[in-house]
């Protein structure tokens, strides 16, 4: 963490001239609320002059490899990437319903309660704040010395950068691990706003829920239709299928997986998938 603090101080020294301030967070989470252990990933918060972007670090890894190899390899994660314009509470969410990527806006106002409590996080004096957001109780620690009213995911609105964040049930936690300054605004249009040539379809949040439920009802709809037409073979994960009825066990497995891995950051937005 000492090295991370040094990098942050260098970043702040050149704040007036910088185009992108990038902060890296370690995220521990449970896709299934009954899990006994956490999964772990790394995410990126890009603070640009006009907007903020939050997405998985694997996007950057894939982007670099694609540029080197001139390929279009794709990747995605369970956590929903978001972007928002400066000084607004409107987030653009990017999420899949089946194989189709969608984007939809949400209004996300977070009301914080500031505490006088402070604690040392590395060389910074971090201040405590709490909030109820997305059906969870959150505790955040922010640093006024890093003058960005931003944080991971949709967590914004404090008088300083959020360096640590956790929900009361210990299902999600975000901790700042390092930062860097990029002199030119980093272009994410081929990994986020346009995903490797495929632009997400802009819809409403209500419509996204509808699309997700439609996919859940029949995850292999297109494959089943192809098989019903006859004279075709569908290959899924190395196994060849010739009859539509053979996909029924796969449908049930996929539905069970979706129901089980249904523990989003905003718990109150978990889709109510019916048991089939």
The mean pLDDT of 136-149, rounded to a whole number, is 96
Question: Does residue 275 fall inside a structural domain?
Answer: no
Residue pair 263/30 in contact by the 8 Å Cβ criterion: yes
- Mean pLDDT estimate for the chain: 87
pLDDT reading at 153 higher than 80: yes
Q: What is the token pair recorded at 112? A: 């914080």
pLDDT reading at 5 higher than 70: no
Q: What is the token pair recorded at 121? A: 């996080």
Partner residues linked to 127 by β-bridges: 118, 142
pLDDT reading at 64 higher than 90: no
pLDDT of residue 37: 94
Number of structural domains in the chain: 2
Burial 223-236 (b: 16+ CB within 10 A, else e): bbebbeeeeeebee
Final residue of a structural domain among 166, 193, 220: 193
Final residue of a structural domain among 151, 167, 193: 193
180 & 211 share domain: no
What is the spatial distance between Cα 117 and Cα 137, in angstroms, rounded to a whole number?
Answer: 17
Q: What is the token pair recorded at 80? A: 């929903």
Q: Domain containing 68 — which CATH number? A: 2.50.20
252 & 176 share domain: no
- List the domain range (segments joined by +) for residue 258: 205-269
Highest mean pLDDT among 14-28, 150-164, 195-209, 230-244: 150-164
Of 41, 152, 30, give the one whose Cα is nearest residue 91.
152
Element (H, E) at 94: strand 90-97
44 & 167 share domain: yes
Residue pair 201/104 in contact by the 8 Å Cβ criterion: no
145 & 257 share domain: no
CA distances from 92 to 46, 136, 193, 270 (A): 15, 21, 10, 18
175 & 240 share domain: no
The mean pLDDT of 233-259, rounded to a whole number, is 90
Q: Which residue has the higher pLDDT, 125 or 71?
A: 125
119 & 48 share domain: yes
Question: Does residue 230 fall inside a structural domain?
Answer: yes
Work out the number of other CB atoms within 10 angstroms of the CB of residue 147. Answer: 12
Question: Does residue 199 fall inside a structural domain?
Answer: no
135 & 71 share domain: yes
């Amino acid at each position: 963490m000492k090295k991370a603090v040094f990098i942050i101080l260098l970043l702040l020294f050149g704040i007036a001239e910088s185009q992108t301030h990038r902060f890296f967070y370690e995220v521990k989470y449970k896709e299934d609320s009954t899990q006994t252990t956490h999964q772990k990933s790394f995410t990126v918060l890009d603070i640009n002059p006009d907007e903020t972007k939050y997405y998985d670090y694997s996007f950057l890894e894939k982007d670099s490899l694609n540029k080197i190899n001139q390929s279009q390899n794709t990747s995605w994660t369970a956590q929903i990437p978001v972007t928002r314009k400066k000084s607004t509470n409107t987030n653009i969410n990017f999420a899949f319903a089946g194989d189709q990527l969608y984007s939809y806006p949400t209004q996300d106002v977070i009301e914080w309660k500031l505490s006088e409590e402070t604690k040392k996080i590395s060389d910074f004096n971090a201040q405590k704040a709490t909030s109820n957001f997305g059906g969870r109780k959150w505790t955040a620690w922010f640093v006024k010395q890093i003058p960005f009213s931003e944080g991971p995911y949709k967590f914004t609105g404090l008088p300083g950068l959020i360096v640590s964040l956790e929900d009361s049930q210990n299902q999600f936690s975000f901790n700042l691990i390092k930062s860097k300054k990029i002199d030119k605004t980093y272009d994410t249009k081929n990994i986020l706003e346009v995903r490797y040539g495929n632009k997400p379809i802009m819809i409403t949040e209500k419509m996204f829920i509808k699309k997700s439920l439609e996919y859940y009802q029949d995850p292999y709809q297109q494959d089943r239709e192809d098989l019903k037409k006859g004279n075709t073979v569908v290959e899924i994960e190395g196994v060849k299928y010739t009859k539509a009825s053979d996909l029924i066990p796969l449908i049930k497995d996929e539905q069970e997986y979706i129901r089980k891995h249904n523990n989003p950051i905003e718990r109150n937005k978990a889709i109510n998938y019916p048991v089939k």
